[in-house]
Structure 1
């Protein structure tokens, strides 16, 4: 029997409102809060949260010295359409050149790696 339930995934960043708006563009949902903590309430009941972190240093991908610590896999029905929306919202390609794979790697505006994955 589980002793806990996942409440939220929280990303450190320099500007919680800006990063919440970026992910709202990709995932839908509504943002709640402002300042040092913003929640993105996602369809289906999950929460992705953003916490201000003074001196935030984004991970480098790929890099053993500056590990990414975690990344988000975002399932999408159309990689090309999702890529266009992600780039327009402020994503930066990290490893999206190989069009034969079922995933592409990007960085969000705060530098966190995430993947768009064909579902």
Structure 2
């Protein structure tokens, strides 16, 4: 029998951890870890989940939907109103790719470092 596992942290590579932590802090309302710095920054949820952002040299942003630099993973965020959430996140610096396969069920946006994420109607 395998031991139970619980996800406690997710870490994203990026060129500028402080810029990316600021984006997700505003987008999610999660609390910034007090030791966040230019090399590694993070957010902590009330449930203990930690989302980290680590600086890597020669970072290359994912090219969604083109897979020349694959996305490798993405977040899904449930929202009440897709239009309202999209407008707010675009105002925070998110991007919106032309390719939108979800029609009215979900939207694909990109964070300031180029990582795609989805807004899903809740």
TM-score (structure 2 length as normaliser) = 0.87
Match of 2:24 in 1: 23
Which structure: greater strand fraction?
1
Gaps of 5+ in 1: none
Listed one character per residue, the Cα deviations across residues 57-104 of structure 1 (whole Å, up to 9, x for unaligned) are: 001011233211111111111111110110010000014767842100
Match of 1:104 in 2: 107
Instruction: Say if 1:98 and 1:62 are closer, same or farther in 2 by CA, change over 3 A.
Output: closer
Partners of 1:41 and 1:92 in 2: how far apart?
A: 24
Match of 2:69 in 1: 66
Post-superposition, which runs of at least 4 consecutive aligned residues in structure 1 deviate over 6 A? none
1:8 aligns with 2:9: yes
Paired residue total: 119
Partners of 2:46 and 2:82 in 1: how far apart?
A: 20
Partners of 1:9 and 1:90 in 2: how far apart?
A: 21
Mapping of residues 83-94 of structure 1, within 5 Å? 83-94=86-97
- 3-state SS of paired residue (2:97): strand
Instruction: Say if 1:35 and 1:75 are closer, same or farther in 2 by CA, change over 3 A.
Output: same
Gaps of 5+ in 2: none
RMSD: 1.9
